[in-house]
Amino acid sequence: MSTVAAAPTQHRHLHFVLPHLLETVRSTLVVIIVALFIIAFLVQPFRIPSESMEHTLLVGDFLLVDKVAFAPAGIWHWLLPYRHVTRHDIVVFHFPLDSEEHVVKRVIGVPGDEVSLQNGVAVVNNTPQREPYDVFERADGDAYRDQFPRYTTDDPSVDPHWREQMRGLVENAHLRVPADTCFVLGDNRNHSRDSRYWGFVPRQNIEGTPLLIYFSVREPSATDTPPLPGGRLGNSVEDRLIDFARWDRILRVVH
């Protein structure tokens, strides 16, 4: 009887191709450098902590701020879209009374403008401004706030140096905006501490303008209306997940 010889056993070797450690480190460093460049020179993330810009910006909104728009043009003017600050721009800036703090407001007056408020409505160069973004949430009457700068006040929230400075800048109940500064207000006109209380924003303090809301956490605002009794409370995981964020505000462009 013939026999069939068994085929010799073939040993298969599995080879795993792993990226070289140096290449991995190099790729990681490139990503980190690009991210740092973007954060340092192009955009920067911020979170809104107060209600002063409602309803344009809400407490809990996370912003990407364009740091290029108002930067000095320099040698890159042909490549990057630099422009001047204009009325109605939303600006992020170093707070004049504390340079470590960032604040966001809307520009109402630019150098040379004469600014006042009539019942909370901005008047620039004797022209009432059309401001579809501003809101007037319920608040106690305040002649200084609403008829600025027609009335004086002993409100301790008004910076004393600003009170002195205003005396030389008000004429016929209008405030003149000096060179290289801006006059800013919050969109939530009755609940904003802005240029009425601490003065002008120096041009060099302006960091950029909000580009978009990349995320928004549902956080309470000081001006929220308490819920009506008997409202349904969601206790399930699904309800908590849905209520955690304002999903409709994610990736919203800021105007």
**Per-residue pLDDT tens for 168-196?**
999 999 999 999 999 999 999 999 999 99
pTM of this structure: 0.78
Kindly indicate the confidence band of residue 203, based on its pLDDT and cuts at 50, 70 and 90: very high
Q: What's the average model confidence in pLDDT over 65-86? A: 73
Query: What would the two tokens of residue 189 be?
Result: 């006109």
**Least confident interval from 3-7, 84-88, 235-239:** 3-7
**Least confident interval from 31-35, 45-49, 171-175, 210-214:** 31-35
pLDDT at 23 > cutoff 90: no
* Percent of the chain surpassing pLDDT 90: 61
CB atoms within 10 A of CB 8: 6
Q: What's the average model confidence in pLDDT over 230-242? A: 59
Looking at residue 2, its pLDDT comes to: 42
Contact present, 184 and 105 (Cβ < 8 Å): yes
Per-residue pLDDT reduced to its tens digit, 82-118:
788 999 999 999 999 999 999 999 999 999 999 999 9
Q: Which residue has the tokens 């010799």?
A: 8
Question: For 72, phi and psi rounded to 5 degrees?
Answer: -60, 135
Looking at residue 1, its pLDDT comes to: 43
Q: What's the average model confidence in pLDDT over 197-220? A: 94
Question: Domains in the chain, start-ordered, CATH in brackets?
Answer: 37-222+240-253 (2.10.109.10)
Higher-scoring residue by pLDDT: 221, 195: 195
Instruction: Please provide the average confidence, as pLDDT, over all residues in the chain.
Output: 83
Looking at residue 7, its pLDDT comes to: 46
Contact present, 228 and 139 (Cβ < 8 Å): no
Query: What would the two tokens of residue 111 be?
Result: 């150098």
Looking at residue 76, its pLDDT comes to: 54
Q: Which residue has the tokens 């309470």?
A: 220
**What amino acid occupies position 16?**
F
Contact present, 180 and 203 (Cβ < 8 Å): yes
Kindly indicate the confidence band of residue 198, based on its pLDDT and cuts at 50, 70 and 90: very high
Higher-scoring residue by pLDDT: 30, 208: 208
